[in-house]
Structures are given as C-alpha cells and as structure tokens.
Amino acid sequence: MTRKSIHRIHVEFGDCDPAQIAFYPNFFRWFDAASRHYFENCGVAPWREYEKTHGIIGTPVVETGARYHRPTSYGDDLEVHTWIEEWREKGFVMKHELRRDGQLLAEGRDVRVFATRHPADPARIRAVPVPQEIRALCDSDPG
Amino acid sequence: MTRKSIHRIHVEFGDCDPAQIAFYPNFFRWFDAASRHYFENCGVAPWREYEKTHGIIGTPVVETGARYHRPTSYGDDLEVHTWIEEWREKGFVMKHELRRDGQLLAEGRDVRVFATRHPADPARIRAVPVPQEIRALCDSDPG
Amino acid sequence: MTRKSIHRIHVEFGDCDPAQIAFYPNFFRWFDAASRHYFENCGVAPWREYEKTHGIIGTPVVETGARYHRPTSYGDDLEVHTWIEEWREKGFVMKHELRRDGQLLAEGRDVRVFATRHPADPARIRAVPVPQEIRALCDSDPG
Amino acid sequence: MTRKSIHRIHVEFGDCDPAQIAFYPNFFRWFDAASRHYFENCGVAPWREYEKTHGIIGTPVVETGARYHRPTSYGDDLEVHTWIEEWREKGFVMKHELRRDGQLLAEGRDVRVFATRHPADPARIRAVPVPQEIRALCDSDPG
C-alpha cells in the first residue's frame, strides 16, 4: 500500500439537492480533488507545472465507481482518505473513503492513467507508462 | 429489458476542465438527469408530485460506476440512452450509454432504490419496495 | 440593438438546492452557455477554432450581475433571450432574460471582453479590441 | 458596519474551465457559502435548524453582482471576506471580497432577503422582515 493522504471537505448548501442531501455527483468532485491533493501531498508538482517538464497533463479517470452508505448534508465536515491500491502498467487504482467523525459514508475507486496530449491532435489525450519518479514518491515511507 | 429513453445533452464550455474535456463528475450529473427523464418518459409523475401521493422522494443512488471510452468537449451534442437492466426487491439497476453520432463515449450503471423520508427523522431516507405501478409503466411495451 | 438568440434550458433536479429551487449560481452557468451560443448563432466559429486563427480564447466576464424575480425548479423548461446591449472599445455589454412561458424569471447583464492569452505568460489573459468581423456578424440583420 | 467573517477556499482543477481559470459562476458558489458561514460565525443556527424554530429557510438572493479583477486557478488558496453593508426592511446588502495573499481578485455584492415558505404553496417563498435577533448577532461587537 502506498502513502495515504486526507483531504478535508465542508459540505455546502449548494452541494445539496432538493432531497436535502449532498448531490451524489459531488462525491466524484470531492474524490477528484482528493486525487490531486494526494499527489501534491506525496511531493509531485501540480500538473500545470509537471506538464511543462514531463508533458503529463493529469490523471484522467478511465473507470470510476462509488458506493454510498450514508447521506451527508450541508454543515458536515468530512474527510476523504485516499491511497493507491494497485499500480498497473499505464495507470493505477485509487481508493477513496469518505468519513464523518470516523464513520464511513461512501467509498470510491478510480482507475486512472497518466496522460499526455496526443502529438497529432491536442484535443485527444494519450496514456503513458507510470512515471517511476511519481511512483517512488507515492510508495516512499514518509516516516 | 424495459423501455428505453434517450436524453439529449449539449456539452458546454463550463462543463469542461483545464484539460479541455468534460469534467468526469458531470457525466454523473447527466446520467442522473437521464434517470429522471427516463421515469417521466415512462409516464411516472415528477417526484415532487409523486411524493405528495406516494411519499416517494426519488431514486437515490446507492452504488454507481462509469467507464470512459472517449472524451467529449464543448460543442458536442450527445445522447444518453437509458434503461433498467434489472429489478431488485427494493431497487433496480439502471444502465446509461453516452453516445455521440452513435459512437459510445461512456457507459454508466447505477444501483438505485425508491426512497421515502424516514418517519422519525426527515433528514434520513429509507428504501421501500419497488412500486408495482412504476414497474408496470417501465416494463410496458409502448408500441 | 444586435441580433438576439434564444437558448433553451431544462432545469434538472441536481440544479436545485435544499430550498427546492434552482441554486442561483446556476443562472450564471446558463447565461454563460447562452453567451457562447449567441456568437455561434451569429456565425462565429467556436472559440476553440477561433483561437487557432485569431488567438481569441473567449469572452471572459469582467463584471456581471443578475436580478431574480421568480424562482424556478426542476422540470421547468426555460428560455434565455440574449443580445448585445452595447459595444465598448475592448468589450461589450450582454443582456440575458430568463423566461418561462414568456414570463420573466430573471435578468442578467455581463460586461465581457474579447481575450487572448498573454504572450509572456499563458496563465494570464489579455483583453483585445472588439474584432470588427465579429461585430459585423452580430449587428447584421438576419432577415 | 457589521461583523466580518473570513471563509477559506482552495481552488480545485474541476472549478476551472478550458481557459485554465476558475469558471466565473463558481465565484457565486463561493460567495454563497461565505454568506452562510457568515451567519454561523455570528452565532445564528444553521438554516435547517432555524427553519424548525422560526420558519426561515435561508437568505435567497434577489439581486447579485460581481466584478472580476484578476483570474484565479487551481491550487490557489483564497479568502472570502464577508460583511453586511446595509440593512433594509426585508433584507440586507452583503459584500464579499475575494483575496489571494491579500490581493483583491474579485468583489461581489448580494441583495438578500430572509425567506419563509409561502403558506399557500410551499414551492413559493416569501420575504419576511429582518429578524431582530439575527441583526443583533451580526451587529454585535465580538471584542
């Protein structure tokens, strides 16, 4: 298992729907933010910087899923616990647990790839092998 | 297989992220809209009306997932093809296919339940058995 | 007054907040979409294409405002009526009226500029004079 | 001038648009969150609680506007400084300043009312006079 990071969320009124609970696509917004913070917490430069030096524009999702155990509503303070469950040749499986006071509210799992712009068409993106320096930063023991 | 409905989406600039492609949580926003339009297309009253008569506030998602095959960007006209793949005791599995000019861009699968407000605490929701009249409307052959 | 265009909106459940009405920042999302459709309806290429030939990346807002007269909720079919109220040296004032069955629900007014990327720093943008060919397309009588 | 509160924002990748900058409707999302935190910071119960005791469901916006001075992008840490500029009979004018490292990026001004559900039709809302206990909490000197 890789390093783990915690991303804090405060649920806002505007995140909630007429059923008074957080609208479920927002959980993916939170997981995506957690994914980016994860890499920054591991010491990887923001993608905007990293693109200049390595061409990598980010880690687009190729597959994602979530299970919702308990609803959350505005005013709640949440934590997203994030780590990498598995490295693959051109990507990785990332796990997110959304918790309130320690209680599990939802869990998500993303399959993501490291992507560069397609040389022939910048509107398309292309998966590239996992950069070993990023993997090393995520695998390293911070202790 | 149940009736199928098609929900049309026009991808806007504001739906896209700095990688120039539609931000992936928006696909769940579109699938959720498709899910509601599905029931209305089958002849079910909007949940706001249905709540008054049957107490059902909607079909919250308990599990969802998506696979992304090709990106989409602003200006694209898309179709979400939606149907119910499986009925369960207290819910159903809904399938969504996102298409552009017939080509499959993404697919989603939701496990949803029919929910009412919890009698003891309106902030909580409770799953109820599939209303047979809704099932009949979705199963009926429109031909 | 310039040409006018109409952009159609269907209010979704996820656009609404716990007060059961459309969350007001979404009106700006709709006005922004209406702004882009306005130029396309007048015959201007999408900004992504236009950037390649003229460097213009879009019409960022420098000032905006809205007045809300009546709420709207999910299921409503709305129209945004959009036109350019005033041309300025480096920008323009755009007016939006949000209507349901002809009734005015909200009105918005944007001050926008035509922008290019700053040559020294692509993270910054720079206002440029109104392209006369765009102005001609918006001013022309379609009749 | 009333009490002032500061609400912290971290700009996420998904808050940004293809021009690489935060999509401007999100500023209203942040101002709305700042508005709610303002009242809680002053000691007013969350609207969900306050509705039970006083019928007030929140402070819907009847008019809003923003001026954008400098763009912001993902990774930025921002502060929204919020206070009430003016009390009116059934509402108030709220001012927001969005700052990064002290520098003013944008400013917003909302006209809001205190609202209850319309007794004859819960889908409609009705403005009520400013509750004097809320005004006292906002006006009080915390020192």
**Closest CA relative to residue C73, chosen from A26, B114, A18:** A18
A-B CB pairs within 8 A amount to: 76
Q: What is the pLDDT of residues C102-113, one digit of tens each?
A: 999 999 999 999
Indicate the residue type of D31.
F
> Mean of the pLDDT values across residues D97-102?
98
Q: Is C52 on the interface with D (CB under 8 A)?
A: no
Distance from CA of C98 to the nearest CA of B (A): 18
C65 with D60: Cβ contact below 8 A: no
Catalytic residue chosen out of the listed positions B17, B32, B110, B121: B17
Residue A47: partners with Cβ closer than 8 Å, 6 or more residues away:
A36, A56, A57, A58, D13
Partner residue facing D29 (CB), from C25, C57, C67: C25
B47 with C73: Cβ contact below 8 A: no
Catalytic residue chosen out of the listed positions D15, D17, D139, D141: D17
C120: confidence class by pLDDT, cuts 50, 70, 90: confident
D132: confidence class by pLDDT, cuts 50, 70, 90: very high
CB atoms within 10 A of CB C112: 22
Instruction: Tell me the residues of chain A between 29 and 48 that have a Cβ less than 8 Å away from chain D.
Output: 29, 32-33, 36, 46-48
- Quick check: is A138 in a domain? no
Which carries the bigger pLDDT value, residue A21 or residue D1?
A21
Chain C hits for B73, CB-CB cut-off 8 Å, are 48
Distance from CA of B25 to the nearest CA of A (A): 5
Contact in structure between B29 and A17 (CB atoms under 8 Å): no
The CATH number of the domain where B102 resides is what? Answer: 3.10.129.10
- Quick check: is A141 in a domain? no
Which carries the bigger pLDDT value, residue A51 or residue D104?
D104
Whole-number Å distance between alpha carbons of A33 and D97: 24
> Mean of the pLDDT values across residues C59-77?
95
Indicate the residue type of B15.
D
Stretch among A126-135, B117-126, C56-65, D23-32 having the lowest mean pLDDT: B117-126
CA distances from C77 to A82, C74, C125, D125 (A): 40, 9, 35, 20
Q: Specify the number of domains making up chain A.
A: 1
Stretch among A47-56, B23-32, D57-66, D90-99 having the lowest mean pLDDT: A47-56
Q: Is A17 on the interface with C (CB under 8 A)?
A: yes
Chain D hits for B20, CB-CB cut-off 8 Å, are 18
Catalytic residue chosen out of the listed positions C17, C32, C76, C101: C17
Average pLDDT, chain B: 92
> Mean of the pLDDT values across residues C87-114?
96
CA A128 remoteness from chain centre: 18
A142: confidence class by pLDDT, cuts 50, 70, 90: low
Q: Is the pLDDT of residue D21 over 80?
A: yes
C123 with D19: Cβ contact below 8 A: no
- Quick check: is A137 in a domain? no
- Quick check: is A47 in a domain? yes
D6: confidence class by pLDDT, cuts 50, 70, 90: very high
D142: confidence class by pLDDT, cuts 50, 70, 90: low
CA distances from C118 to B3, C57, C90 (A): 52, 11, 15
| pLDDT score of A6 | 98
Q: What own/partner pairs with CB < 8 Å and gap ≥ 24 does B140-143 have?
A: B140/B3, B140/B42, B141/B3, B142/B3
Whole-number Å distance between alpha carbons of C32 and C38: 10
- Quick check: is A142 in a domain? no
Residue in chain D closest to B73 (alpha carbons) equals D18
Q: Is the pLDDT of residue D35 over 90?
A: yes
Q: Is the pLDDT of residue A122 over 80?
A: no
| pLDDT score of D123 | 67
B142: confidence class by pLDDT, cuts 50, 70, 90: low
| pLDDT score of C123 | 67
Partner residue facing A33 (CB), from D14, D20, D33: D14
A-D CB pairs within 8 A amount to: 40
| pLDDT score of D107 | 98
Which carries the bigger pLDDT value, residue A119 or residue C7?
C7
Q: Is the pLDDT of residue B140 over 60?
A: yes
Chain C hits for B10, CB-CB cut-off 8 Å, are 33
Strand B91-100 versus strand B77-87 pairing type: antiparallel
| pLDDT score of D114 | 94
Q: Is D20 on the interface with A (CB under 8 A)?
A: yes
Partner residue facing B64 (CB), from A24, A58, A73: A24
Q: What is the predicted ipTM?
A: 0.92
Contact in structure between D1 and D83 (CB atoms under 8 Å): yes
Q: Is D74 on the interface with A (CB under 8 A)?
A: yes
C64 with D66: Cβ contact below 8 A: yes
**Closest CA relative to residue D76, chosen from D120, D113, D114, D22:** D22
Chain A hits for D123, CB-CB cut-off 8 Å, are none
Whole-number Å distance between alpha carbons of B118 and C58: 48
Q: Is the pLDDT of residue D143 over 60?
A: no
- Quick check: is A140 in a domain? no
B60 with A21: Cβ contact below 8 A: yes
> Mean of the pLDDT values across residues B77-84?
98
Chain C hits for D35, CB-CB cut-off 8 Å, are none
D120: confidence class by pLDDT, cuts 50, 70, 90: confident
* Structural domain of C95: 4-139
A21 with B73: Cβ contact below 8 A: no
Which carries the bigger pLDDT value, residue A51 or residue B41?
B41
Q: Is the pLDDT of residue D110 over 80?
A: yes
| Phi, psi of C17, rounded to the nearest 5 degrees | -110, 180
Q: Is the pLDDT of residue C41 over 90?
A: yes
Told to judge if B17 belongs to the known catalytic residues of this protein, a careful annotator would answer yes
Stretch among A2-16, C21-35, C40-54 having the lowest mean pLDDT: C40-54
> Mean of the pLDDT values across residues B37-60?
89
> Mean of the pLDDT values across residues D113-139?
88
Partner residue facing C18 (CB), from A18, A25, A48: A18
| Phi, psi of A61, rounded to the nearest 5 degrees | -85, 130
Q: Is the pLDDT of residue B123 over 80?
A: no
CA distances from D50 to B92, D57, D131 (A): 37, 7, 11
Chain D hits for C125, CB-CB cut-off 8 Å, are 19, 21, 71
B74 with D20: Cβ contact below 8 A: no
Residue A121 DSSP SS3: strand
Average pLDDT, chain D: 92
D20 with B23: Cβ contact below 8 A: no
C75: confidence class by pLDDT, cuts 50, 70, 90: very high
Q: Is B16 on the interface with D (CB under 8 A)?
A: yes
| pLDDT score of B143 | 54
Q: Is C67 on the interface with D (CB under 8 A)?
A: yes
| pLDDT score of C142 | 59
